[in-house]
C-alpha cells in the first residue's frame, strides 16, 4: 500500500486518540501510530497497534481499538474502509475501487512511474571509469549496471541527473601496456591483427606482467616512461595517443552493445595537472607538507589514518592527485547538489581520504560527495585478475549469453514466428546480465553464474521479460475497448494484492533512489510478477464470466504492463512484446 494511504489512516487514528484523551482529561505524550501490514490478507490491508496507548487510557488494547473504531465510524471525514478489530489491533480493509481507478487513469497517460521526491536536485553519477590498458570485464559490468540504474532511479524521482565517466588514460599502469607493446610488438594494430582495440592493448598489459616476473627492472622502466609522458616527450605521447585511441574505440563499441551511455566524459590526462596545482597551492598554505624524500604528503591523523602521499618525490601524480582535479573540474562544469561515485568497496579508504582532502582545500561541496561502494564479483572458481588474464571479458560474456539465449529461443520458436530472433536474444542477454547483477544489494559480494542469469524461470531477467510479453499478448488479443472500466469488479484476493502492490510502486522508487539500492526495485518487480503469474493461471481474463469483468481484468493487465515497462527500463531489462 502506498505511503499516502497509510499516512491518511495514521493521521485519522492519531486525531481520534488525541480527541479521546482530551475528553477524558488525559495528559500524556501520545506517539504517532505506526501503520503495519497484517500477516494475512483476510485480516485487512493495514493494521495499527493500540498497545502504545493502553497505559495512558487504562484500557486493554482491544477495548481501546473498539473505541477508536467507533470514533472513526462517527466521523464523516475519516478515510474510507472497513474497520476490523483483531486483538489489540485496529485493522482496515480498504476500498480499492477508487485507488484502482486512479492507477488505471495514470497508466493511460505519459509520465507513468515517476515521482517528484527529488525534484529540483542536481545529482551527478560517476560510473564505469575504465583504464585504457585493458577491455571491460565482469566487474565493470556490475559497476555499469549499478551506475546506470541508480541514475535512472534518481531521474524517475525527479532529479536532474548527469552521468559521467572518468577515463583512466594516464599513469604507470598505462605505461606498462605501452612499454610491452614497444618491446614485444611488430607494429601490429587492430586492423592488421583482427583484434578489437581494447583487447589488443589488454594483451600487452598481460605481457608486461609476465615480463616483469622475469626482469626486475621492468617496473622501473614503466615509471621512467611515465616521467617522460608527464614531461611531454613527443615519442611517448605519440605512442600513448595511438594506443589510447585503440582502447577508446573498443570501449565505445562495448558500451553501445551493452546500452550504456554518458552525458560527459572526463579524462585523467586533462585533469591531473589541475590536481597537482591544487596540491601545490595547499603546500604553500601549509595544508600539506613536503617530506625529506621530496614527496608531498597530507597528515590524516584527524581522521585516524596515516600520512598520504599526494605527489611522488619525482613530482608525478597519483590517483588521489588526479581525482582531486577531476572533482574540482566537475563542480566548475556543473555545480551539483550531490556527486555519487560508483566504485568498488576496495576503494573505501581512497574516497574517505579524497573527500577529506577536498574539505581541507576549502571546498564546501566536499560534504556533498558520496561513495556508493559495491562488493566484488567472483567467478565460481575464485577472483578475477586482469593482469593475469583471468577476467571474465565483458564482450565475450555478452556474446556467449546471446548465443545461449538464441538457442533457448529457437527451441521455443520452432515455427520461426519470431521476427528477429538474434535481436531478441541480444535483449534477453542484456536483461539477464543487468537483473542478475542488480538483484543483490550493492554492498554484498556476489558470484556470477551465467546459466542462472539466463534462466527463463524463477528470479531472472528473462523470466520478467516473459511476464511482460505475456501481458502484451493479453492486451493484443483483447478486442474490446477499455472505456467504462469498472474497478469495483476486481474483488479476488490476487486482484486486491496486485492493486495494493501497484499503488506502492512510487514508494519503492523513492526508497530505492534514497538508498541507492536497485535490489529493492528488483525484489518488488519479481514479487509482483509472482502474484500476476498466480492470478493468470487461476483466473479467466479474456474469457471471464461477463464482458465487464473481462474488461476490468484487462484493465488490471494494462496497469501491470505499464508498471513493468517502467521498472524494466530503470533496471535495464529491454522490454519485449514477444519472445
CATH superfamily of 127-388: HUPs (3.40.50.620)
Task: State the pLDDT confidence band at 1, using cuts at 50, 70 and 90.
Answer: low
Number of H helices, E strands in the chain: 21, 14
Range 394-571 has CATH code 3.40.50.880: no
8 Å CB contact between 568 and 518 = no
Q: Are 497 and 563 in contact (CB under 8 A)?
A: no
pTM of the model: 0.89
- Tens digit of each residue's pLDDT (9 = 90 or more) over 402-413: 999 999 888 876
Quickly count: other Cβ atoms within 10 Å of residue 161's Cβ.
Answer: 22
Residues 6+ apart with CB under 8 A from 460: 432, 435, 436, 452, 453, 454
Question: CA dist 52 to 26, 32, 63, 66, 89, Å?
Answer: 14, 9, 13, 15, 11
Ordered by start, the domain boundaries in the chain are 3-95, 127-388, 394-571
Neighbours of 578 (CB within 10 A): 15
- With beta carbons less than 8 A apart as the criterion, state whether 525 and 567 touch: yes
Q: What is the pLDDT of residues 61-111, one digit of tens each?
A: 999 999 999 999 999 998 888 999 998 999 998 888 989 999 999 998 866
Domain 3-95 class, CATH top level: alpha beta
- Residue 317 gets which letter from DSSP? B
Distance CA 86, CA 84 (A): 6
Cell output for 194? 583482427
Sheet holding 35-36, edge to edge: 35-36, 46-49, 89-94, 81-86
163 pairs with which residues across the strands? 125
pLDDT at 309 over 70: yes
**Residue 386 confidence (pLDDT) above 50:** no
Q: What is the pLDDT of residue 95?
A: 83
Kindly tell me if the per-residue pLDDT of 416 is higher than 70.
no
Distance CA 106, CA 79 (A): 22
Amino acid at each position: 500500500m502506498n505511503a499516502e494511504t497509510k499516512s491518511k489512516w495514521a493521521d485519522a487514528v492519531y486525531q481520534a486518540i488525541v480527541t479521546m484523551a482530551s475528553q477524558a482529561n488525559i495528559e500524556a505524550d501520545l506517539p504517532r501510530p505506526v501503520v503495519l501490514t497484517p500477516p494475512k490478507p483476510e485480516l485487512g490491508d493495514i493494521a495499527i497497534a493500540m498497545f502504545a496507548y493502553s497505559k495512558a487510557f487504562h484500557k486493554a488494547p482491544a477495548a481501546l481499538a473498539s473505541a477508536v473504531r467507533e470514533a472513526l465510524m462517527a466521523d464523516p471525514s475519516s478515510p474510507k474502509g472497513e474497520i476490523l478489530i483483531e486483538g489489540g489491533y485496529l485493522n482496515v480493509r480498504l476500498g480499492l475501487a477508487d485507488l484502482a481507478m486512479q492507477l488505471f487513469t495514470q497508466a493511460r497517460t505519459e509520465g507513468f512511474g515517476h515521482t517528484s521526491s527529488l525534484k529540483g536536485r542536481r545529482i551527478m553519477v560517476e560510473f564505469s571509469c575504465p583504464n585504457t590498458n585493458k577491455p571491460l570485464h565482469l566487474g565493470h559490468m556490475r559497476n555499469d549496471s549499478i551506475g546506470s540504474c541508480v541514475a535512472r532511479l534518481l531521474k524517475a524521482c525527479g532529479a536532474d541527473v548527469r552521468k559521467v565517466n572518468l577515463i583512466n588514460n594516464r599513469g604507470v599502469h598505462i605505461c606498462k601496456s605501452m612499454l610491452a607493446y614497444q618491446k614485444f610488438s611488430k607494429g601490429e594494430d587492430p586492423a592488421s591483427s583482427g583484434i578489437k582495440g581494447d583487447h589488443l592493448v589488454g594483451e600487452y598489459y598481460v605481457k608486461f606482467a609476465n615480463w616483469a616476473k622475469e626482469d626486475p627492472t621492468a617496473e622501473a622502466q614503466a615509471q621512467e616512461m611515465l616521467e617522460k609522458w608527464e614531461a611531454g616527450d613527443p615519442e611517448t605521447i605519440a605512442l600513448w595517443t595511438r594506443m589510447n585511441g585503440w582502447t577508446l574505440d573498443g570501449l565505445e563499441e562495448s558500451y553501445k552493445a551493452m546500452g550504456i551511455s554518458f552525458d560527459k566524459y572526463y579524462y585523467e590526462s586533462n585533469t591531473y595537472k589541475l590536481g597537482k596545482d591544487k596540491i601545490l597551492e595547499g603546500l604553500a598554505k601549509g595544508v600539506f607538507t613536503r617530506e625529506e624524500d621530496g614527496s608531498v604528503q597530507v597528515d590524516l591523523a584527524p581522521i585516524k589514518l596515516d600520512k598520504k602521499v599526494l605527489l611522488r618525490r619525482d613530482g608525478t601524480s597519483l590517483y588521489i592527485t588526479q581525482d582531486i582535479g577531476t572533482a574540482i573540474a566537475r563542480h566548475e562544469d556543473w555545480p551539483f547538489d550531490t556527486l555519487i561515485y560508483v566504485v568498488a568497496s576496495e576503494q573505501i579508504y581512497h574516497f574517505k581520504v579524497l573527500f577529506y582532502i577536498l574539505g581541507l582545500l576549502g571546498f564546501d561541496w566536499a560534504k556533498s560527495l558520496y561513495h556508493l561502494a559495491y562488493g566484488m564479483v567472483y567467478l565460481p572458481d575464485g577472483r578475477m585478475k586482469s593482469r593475469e588474464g583471468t577476467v571474465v571479458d565483458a564482450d565475450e560474456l555478452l556474446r556467449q549469453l546471446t548465443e545461449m539465449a538464441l538457442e533457448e529461443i529457437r527451441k521455443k520458436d520452432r515455427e520461426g514466428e519470431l521476427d528477429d530472433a538474434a535481436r531478441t536474444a541480444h535483449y534477453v542477454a542484456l536483461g539477464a546480465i543487468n537483473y542478475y547483477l542488480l538483484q543483490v544489494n550493492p554492498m554484498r559480494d556476489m558470484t556470477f553464474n551465467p546459466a542462472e542469469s539466463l534462466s527463463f524461470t524463477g528470479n531472472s531477467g528473462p523470466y520478467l521479460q516473459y511476464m511482460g510479453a505475456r501481458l502484451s499478448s493479453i492486451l493484443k488479443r483483447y478486442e474490446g475497448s477499455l472505456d467504462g472500466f469498472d474497478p469495483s469488479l476486481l474483488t479476488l484476493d490476487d486482484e486486491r494484492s496486485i492493486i495494493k502492490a501497484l499503488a506502492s510502486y512510487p514508494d519503492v522508487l523513492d526508497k530505492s533512489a534514497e538508498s541507492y539500492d536497485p535490489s529493492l526495485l528488483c525484489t518488488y518487480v519479481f514479487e509482483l510478477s509472482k502474484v500476476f503469474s498466480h492470478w493468470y493461471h487461476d483466473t479467466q481474463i479474456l474469457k471471464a464470466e461477463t464482458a465487464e469483468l473481462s474488461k476490468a481484468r484487462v484493465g488490471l493487465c494494462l496497469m501491470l504492463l505499464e508498471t513493468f515497462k517502467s521498472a524494466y527500463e530503470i533496471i535495464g531489462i529491454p522490454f519485449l512484446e514477444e519472445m
